[in-house]
Amino acid sequence: MIKLNTDFLRTVNGILKIAEFVLILILLMIIRFGGANHSALSLGSVNDSFLGQGTVVGYAIIVPAIVVTYLLGGNVSILEMVINLIGGVLFLVVGGLAIAHNGRIANGSLFAVGMLSVVTGLVFLADLGWLVKHTKFSFQTRT
């Protein structure tokens, strides 16, 4: 029988992962239903929408996978740190683009996406900072 490491959810890293996932789910719902007549929300140009939707959907898959890894007994990896760095940058960019295009669209959904994306990016960067500060790395050399 598989034993889940639910203690992870009570750590700083676990709380940050839960916060990331909740923010991503909120963004996913706003982007999907925040447009006119509950259609998908455009983030400005086709390229901006592609970047925003791709980032949100991609991280809606990645973050739960990381949480499941921890629940199954996994540890911090360098890959997770890279994912946090890229996620932080991507969400900050998406937030900036959404806020920049907010003036052209009267719907408040775009401003909400912009602000929530910035907050999500900052949470990813905070998670990265916490991991870097509290993770001890050891490297093995082969001769």
80-137: pLDDT as tens digits: 999 999 999 999 999 999 998 887 665 678 899 999 999 999 999 999 999 999 998 7
pLDDT at 70: 95
* Residue 12 scores a pLDDT above 80: yes
Mean pLDDT of 25-37: 91
Mean pLDDT of 62-91: 96
CA distances (Å), 30 to each of 14, 22, 33, 97, 114, in order? 24, 12, 5, 16, 11
> pLDDT of 39-48, one tens digit each?
888 888 899 9
- Rounded CA-CA distance 31/48 in Å is 12
pTM of the model: 0.91
